[in-house]
Structure 1
Amino acid sequence: MRVLIGIFLILYSFSHGSIITGQWNDPVTPVMSDYVKRIIQKAELEKADAVIIMIDTPGGLDTSMREIVKTIMNSSVPVIVYVYPPGSRAASAGAIITVSADIAAMSPSTNIGSASPVQMGGKDIEETMKKKIINDMVAFVKGIAKEKGRNEKILVKMITESINLTAEEALKKNVIDVIATDLEDLLGKIDGKTVKKHGKEIKLSVKDKKIIKVEKSLKEKILTILTNPTVAYLLLMIGFYGIFFELYNPGSLIPGILGTISLLLALYSLNIIDVNWLGVLLIAAGVLFFILEVITPTFGALALSGVIAILFGSLILTDPDSPYGDISLKIIVPVVAFSALFFFTVAYLGLKAQRRRTATGVEGMIGVIGKAETDIDPEGKVFVSGELWNAFSESPIKKGEKIKVVSVEGLRLKVERVENGTKV
């Protein structure tokens, strides 16, 4: 019976596929690149019938856009990019991502285009460099247009003339494949369509299929804020200035801490390092902050920075959808807490040792308890720390009584009588 049920479930799963969907309403950044990769990897792993990526974006980083296009074009699962909901846009890098899809779709009252390259912050690029970048972008979109059978001239004009099209204009000029009011309408219109994928023709069967929505993870939500192109630019400048001020005025600490963390975040934001390397470097920076706290106690400033860096680095270190899973907060929090406690303890003991009175030499004699070897009135001899010393006292002390060293004057000790280690 169990065998029959198992066979039935397998046959059911093959006959009832799924559609993996995602929504991106932010600039094109490394986070979007990671998000799209995650969705497509999930679709390939689960043998989904299609992937639908709904976007509303003003554009973003060229490097991230190229990574996304590469991921879409190398996917074994058909990918539909859908500019949605109404009122949305696929501008600049978003336009190129849309037309790179196996099926490009838009909802009514949306627009696509304006793909001319600009510098971060919106500044124009120097003329010679701009010409090189535009030529590179033109060649890139020509390749996409040829592969996907789209209107090459219009796509080139999006880059060279920054033209923008409504959904109706884009459909008429063969920039997109379909206009759909919502997801259900889209599935109905593309069902049965044939797309070419790696030399093979795939007939879409998407109607009445299970829809699985992939939400942004907590890590992606945090990184989306940090990797906004404007924020990335500001992080880069804060990083440079923070480190510069720390080098100019060593020991100020706060500029160095902010500069280091900001620079690491900027390196990820600009797609120079990936998210896993960012996690590793943040953890390394956190450990470095802890070590500096031990060497140069700052009353917790460096240690607190270390806690934040290690905690954040640990949270983004692995992808929740990786084959190995993510690192549970039940592991991260105790490890970070133990690390903080360990370094705080070492720093405290080090500071305590620095403040402790000297245990050797003349200064080490002060406060030591000894015994009067003779009557002291006002002078006599005392036995302290295994040695016989000449001593004097302001009040008489009898032989055999306990004494405490008050001060050292030359080769004589000034002492006072104590009883059970307490001054009388």
Structure 2
Amino acid sequence: MVARARIKAEPRAKRGIVAALAMLVFALFGISAPAPAQEQRSAIVLEVDGAIGPATADYLAQGLARAAEADAPLVILRMDTPGGLDTSMRDIIRDIVRSPVPVATYVSPSGARAASAGAYILYASHVAAMAPGTNVGAATPVQLGSMAPAQDDARDGEPAGEAAAPANASEAKAVNDAVAYIRSLAELRGRNADWAEAAVRTADSLSANAALEAGVIEIVAEDLDDLLAQLDGRSVSAGGVERTLETSELALTRVEPTWRTELLAAITDPNIALILMMIGVYGLMFEFMNPGALYPGTIGAICLLVGLYALAALPVNYAGIALILLGIAFMTAEAFAPSFGALGIGGLVAFVLGTTIVIDSDVPQFQIGWPVIAGVAAFSVGTTVLIARLAVTSHRRHVTSGREGLIGMVGTVVDWNGERGHVFVNGERWRATGVDTIEADDAVRVTGVRNLTLDVEPATGGEHRGMVRPAQLTEE
């Protein structure tokens, strides 16, 4: 019994030793195997170069959303802008303030600026930075820019001039609203609120070093690498949470605009929007003039809807749109009404006035260019002349269908008895009345139509329009 127990125990002991050795080998491999490399974190870089509009706001909104989804440690907004639309600026600032990811706005490269709307965005960012040779300021609302005359001898950090008194209550409201807005952003980020007010009231501007000394920005950096080095270890509050930035080992990931943003940037150009709207209006007009053509109506409807969408994204003056439509209506009516040019000239004046005021903004980048206005006006006048010419030509032509088309046609008498008989006109057999001297096979001309009976008279000068001699005719 003891021997049998030893025999049975030996395989168990061997199995235990093998298991222990296997565990030891796995443990050794686990210790010696290198740990998987951690994916390097990266900062999202967004580029704003040019006027701020709906496309810019859409691009930044998508970039900030992507950074939040990826839990990025930082968003760098590299900016060079002369300003832009107030509505788009406020949308961008709202997204920055709500962002759970810290946003560092960096005005670069040298020679860049953060003017007007750009100054507000810089103030709203968690970190404000500038490159040497850049400037910030001139935040007065553009339509009120004449209120702050610039002085050539103004020094950095000092007001550019005394603010002129607002011309009316609406201007005073606009200035006070802008001042309150930028001061609230300055207080939110702990920056110089007094200079921010001066930037609005007197269009004051600062260079990068002067802005650093005045407490407008926190960093002056040579490039993005220098910016990341100076950001490392700074504490910011984003999304209500205090964060310490760790940027020394961050990589940079640039986010390019999507096709949707590129399309929005193209169609929200006021010049493109106006051209699209005009193509839509004239396309539908030609479709109504030639029902069933399909192509003008289809292309016109698409262009009109895209143009209206673009105008809805821009600050539009509805009086301008009304004047444009009125001008088109007058120029079209000129082709059909004997106004001797009054409607055409009035329509052209209304159209030009409408295109000049349709965009309710004084930002130069969002104004309709005079070459475009002249081109569209010339096209409208040319279309009016073409329609008028077609109308006159059509009016001079003889009617070729219906009751009026029969008058003047020449036919052949099929049979005749007294003052009545049947004639063959325009390929059809008609009852007819006329003088009793008419005989069979005579040529007759139609002089009138009464219900289904023709009034005819003997034709002179041979066969004329509409005359057909059938090979064989039979009486009714």
Residue pairs, 1:74-89, within 5 angstroms: 74-89=98-113
Tell me which of 431, 441, 444 is aligned to 1:388.
431
Residue number among 165, 171, 178 corresponding to 1:137 in the alignment: 178
Name which of structure 1's ranges 131-140 and 245-254 shifts more when overlaid on structure 2: 245-254
Residue 188 of structure 1 aligns with which residue?
229
Quickly say closer, same or farther: Cα 1:391–1:355, change in 2 above 3 A.
closer
Find the aligned partners of 2:230 and 2:267 in 1 and give their Cα distance.
Answer: 36
> Which residue is 1:304 aligned to?
none
Cα offset, 1:148, TM superposition: 1.2
1:43-86 CA distance string (max 9 Å, x none) = 33444333222222233443433222112111222212111110
Letter in 2 for 1:188: A
Partner residue in 1 for 2:199: 158
TM-superposition CA deviations, 1:74-131 (whole Å, max 9, x none): 1222212111110111123221211110111100011112323352674674165444
Give the 3 Å change call, closer, same or farther, for CA 135–371 of structure 1 in structure 2: same
1:204 to 1:255, Cα distance in 2 relative to 1, 3 A: farther
Letter matched to residue 179 of structure 1 = V
Cα drift, residue 263 of structure 1 = 6.4
Structure 2 CA distance for aligned equivalents of residues 84 and 50 of structure 1: 17
Specify the alignment match of 1:408 in structure 2. 447
Structure 2 distance, partners of 1:131, 1:418, is 84
Shift of 1:23: 2.4
Alignment gaps of 5+ in structure 1: 1-10, 272-296, 302-346
Residues 239 and 259, structure 1, Cα contact 8 Å, conserved in 2: no
Cα distance in 1, alignment partners of residues 67 and 457 from structure 2: 85
Could you tell me which of 107, 114, 135 is aligned with 2:138?
Answer: 114
State the Cα distance separating 1:39 from its structure 2 match.
Answer: 2.6
Question: Counterparts of 1:185-224 in structure 2 under 5 Å?
Answer: 185-206=226-247, 207-215=249-257, 217-221=262-266, 223-224=268-269
Taking structure 1 as reference, are residues 245 and 224 closer, same or farther at Cα in structure 2, changes over 3 Å only?
Answer: closer
Deviations 1:228-271 (A, max 9, x none): xxxx999989657645656777544666667777766x26x689
Is the CA contact 1:238–1:258 (under 8 Å) kept in the aligned structure 2? Answer: no
TM-score under structure 2 normalisation? 0.54
Measured in 2, the distance between the counterparts of 1:205 and 1:58 equals 32
CA distance in 1, matches of 2:470, 2:267: 63
Q: TM-score, normalised on structure 1?
A: 0.60
Q: Kindly provide the amino acid, as one letter, of the partner of residue 88 in structure 1.
A: A
**Distance in 1 between the 2:169 and 2:432 partners?**
88
CA contact (8 A) 2:320 2:355 kept: no
Cα-to-partner distance string for 1:13-49 (whole Å, 9 max, x where unaligned): x834443323223234444333322332333344433
SS of structure 1 residue aligned to 2:402: coil
Identity over aligned pairs, percent: 27
SS at match of 1:201: strand
Q: Which runs of 5+ in 2 are unaligned?
A: 1-35, 149-165, 273-313, 335-343, 364-382, 449-453, 472-476
Distance 2:96 2:183 in 1: 16
User: What does residue 177 of structure 1 align with?
Assistant: 218
Amino acid at match of 1:54: R
**Equivalent position SS for 1:53:** strand
CA distance in 2, matches of 1:178, 1:21: 17
Q: For the structure 1 residues 116 and 380, does the alpha-carbon distance in structure 2 shift closer, same or farther, using more than 3 Å as the test?
A: closer
What letter corresponds to residue 408 of structure 1 in structure 2? Answer: T
The letter for the 2-side match of 1:133 is A
- The structure with the larger Rg is 2
Q: Distance in 1 between matches of 2:408 and 2:416?
A: 20
2:121 is paired with a residue of what secondary structure? Answer: helix
Q: Tell me whether 69-78 or 145-154 shows the greater mean CA deviation.
A: 145-154
Query: Is residue 99–residue 144 contact of structure 1 (8 Å, CA) maintained in 2?
Result: yes
Match of 1:96 among 86, 100, 120: 120
Residues 206-215 or 114-123, more deviating:
114-123
Q: Which residue identity does 1:68 align to in structure 2?
A: I
CA distance, structure 2, for counterparts of residue 119 and residue 77 of structure 1: 34
Give the alignment's Cα RMSD to 1 decimal. 4.6
Is 1:15 the counterpart of 2:39 in the alignment?
A: yes
Query: Structure 1 residues 382 and 90 mapped into 2: Cα distance closer, same or farther (>3 Å)?
Result: same
What secondary structure does 1:156 align onto? helix
Q: Give the 3 Å change call, closer, same or farther, for CA 365–116 of structure 1 in structure 2.
A: closer
For residues 131 and 418 of structure 1, do their structure 2 counterparts lie closer, same or farther at Cα, with a shift above 3 Å needed?
A: closer
CA drift at 1:408: 1.8
The alignment partner of 1:24 has SS state of strand
Secondary structure in 2 matching 1:211: strand
Structure 1 residues 112, 219: closer, same or farther in 2, change over 3 A? same
Residue aligning to 1:26: 50
Residue of structure 2 equivalent to 1:321: none
Kindly provide the CA deviation profile for residues 198-229 of structure 1, in whole angstroms up to 9, marking residues without a partner as x: 220233344442412324614315535659xx
SS in 2 for 1:15: coil
Distance 2:41 2:402 in 1: 78
Separation (CA, whole Å) in 1 of partners of 2:444 and 2:227: 93
The alignment covers a number of residue pairs equal to 324
Question: Counterpart of 2:129 in 1: which secondary structure?
Answer: strand
Q: Residues of 1 paired with 2:252 and 2:183: CA distance? A: 35
